[in-house]
Amino acid sequence: MANFVLNAAAREEAIQGKGSSRRLRLASKVPAIIYGGAAEPVAVTLELRELVKALESNAFFEEVIEVKVGDKVESVKIKALQRHPAKNTPMHADFVRA
């Protein structure tokens, strides 16, 4: 079982893009994507404080993470993390299915 569990909300295709991502960040949320495996990519939204808390541990980058999207639980590993250049806060995360 994974030590890290993140709660996420799926995003519709209509609310994706630069403007929508900026609005999410203003609401203390982080846009992310889950891809890989046989399933289709899923755009999700994470809570900023949950992600920052998980990022405090170096094990977050090495272990399998569980992301709960509605009723479904995805086992993923973090592939990429974009941070704000001055504030160092997460701006976008890419997860690949494990």
Q: Which domains does the chain have, with CATH numbers?
A: 4-97 (2.40.240.10)
Burial zone of 86 (CB within 10 Å; 0-12 exposed, 13-18 middle, 19+ buried): exposed
What is the Cα–Cα distance from 64 to 76, expressed in whole angstroms? 6
If the chain, 98 residues long, is cut into consecutive pieces of 10 residues, what is the mean pLDDT of each piece?
Answer: 86 86 95 95 96 95 95 96 96 96
Strand (E) positions, 51-89?
A: 65-69, 72-83
pLDDT of 3? 86
pLDDT of 45? 96
pLDDT of 61? 95
pLDDT of 2? 58
Please report which helix (H) or strand (E) contains residue 25, including its range: helix 18-26
- The answer to whether the beta carbons of residues 54 and 4 sit under 8 Å apart is yes
pTM for the full predicted model: 0.91
Residue 94, C-beta contacts closer than 8 angstroms, at least 6 positions apart: 32, 33, 35, 78, 79, 80, 81
